[in-house]
Amino acid sequence: MRWYRTPRAVQRGALILFGGFVMAPLVWVLLRSFENPVPYKAENFFMFLYRYLSPGQYIDVLFHNLEYWISYWNTLFLTVPTLLLAMFLVSLAAYGLTTMGDKAQNRILAGYAVLALLPMQMLLVPQLIALSNMHLRGSRLAVILIGSFTPWHLFFLHRLCRRVPDSVFEMARIEGAGELTIFCRIALPQMRMGLLVFGIIVSADLWGMVEEPLVYIQDITKYPLSVLFAKARGELSYAGAVLFSLPVVVLFLNGIWGVMEKEGIQG
């Protein structure tokens, strides 16, 4: 079987090239985030260090920028409830779908896939009218509801959780378990890994949302940080962008390692 493997040098070369392509811009931003906001002349070594290795941008963002923190909290107020509601709804629906026949399942998923493929800007007007009729225009709930029912969520989770065998549910039914018991005791634990991956990806998507709050909230005091960055267009510091991305990166690295360990992926 050794012939079947790609030579190690080729693999390493490919990974280095690919890694350089991905990591270089990130490293560049990280380095720029340590640049002193006051552009001193780097006349000697210590001045050079003071210019290019300074926590100045981080101090500015963390301690002198109230607007940044208000928007940070706004991001949390929008992301956390949307994510929780989406996970609840989608896990129920994914279980419901897996217990249906193949034909019904495929038809429903095809419908969801069509809706998921539509650019969100396309539905802005009718969604806005629907939200206005429900007196939700301008409130955070508008973004939370639109975000929780996004069609690609079900499409995505269903694919991740498709491997749960139907016979497991059937056995439980024969033993007399109700649908709700099966969902809570069997389906949810089986879907745990899929839900974790889903949670990571959806939270990252929600963390960076721009169009939805811009259109549905229309109140500058309730805008998340991503909108603030969009409006500032390059005026906010690199440190601000790094700090904003940090929770998503930590969540991702932690979560995905957990998935790999629990799934027993050894390679």
Cα–Cα distance measured from residue 128 to residue 111, given in angstroms and rounded to the nearest whole number: 22
* Ramachandran bin of 173, using left for φ above 0, alpha for ψ from -120 to 50, beta for the remaining angles: alpha
Q: How far is CA 39 from the centre of its chain?
A: 35
Six-digit token pair at 217?
């909230």
> Smallest distance, Å, CB 106 to other proteins?
8
Expressed in angstroms, the distance from the first to the final Cα of the chain is 15
Nearer to other proteins, 51 or 240 (CB): 240
Give which of 202, 207, 177 is closest to 90, Cα–Cα. 202
Cα–Cα distance measured from residue 79 to residue 73, given in angstroms and rounded to the nearest whole number: 10
> Smallest distance, Å, CB 141 to other proteins?
12
Question: 40, 69, 73, 257: which one contacts other proteins (CB under 8 A)?
Answer: 257
> Smallest distance, Å, CB 254 to other proteins?
11
Does 84 participate in binding other proteins (rule CB under 8 A)?
A: no
Question: 42, 76, 93, 186: which one contacts other proteins (CB under 8 A)?
Answer: 93
Site for other proteins in 23-42 (CB under 8 A): 23, 25-26, 28-29
Nearer to other proteins, 78 or 154 (CB): 154
Nearer to other proteins, 25 or 46 (CB): 25
Cα–Cα distance measured from residue 136 to residue 147, given in angstroms and rounded to the nearest whole number: 14
| Cβ proximity of 255 and 196 under 8 Å | yes
Question: 53, 80, 220, 249: which one contacts other proteins (CB under 8 A)?
Answer: 249
Binding mask 187-226 for other proteins (x = CB under 8 A): -------------xx--xx-xx-xx---x---------xx
Site for other proteins in 132-191 (CB under 8 A): 145-146, 148-149, 151-152, 154-156, 159, 162-163, 179, 183
Q: What angle do CA 155, 159, 165 make, to 5 degrees?
A: 130
Nearer to other proteins, 45 or 119 (CB): 119
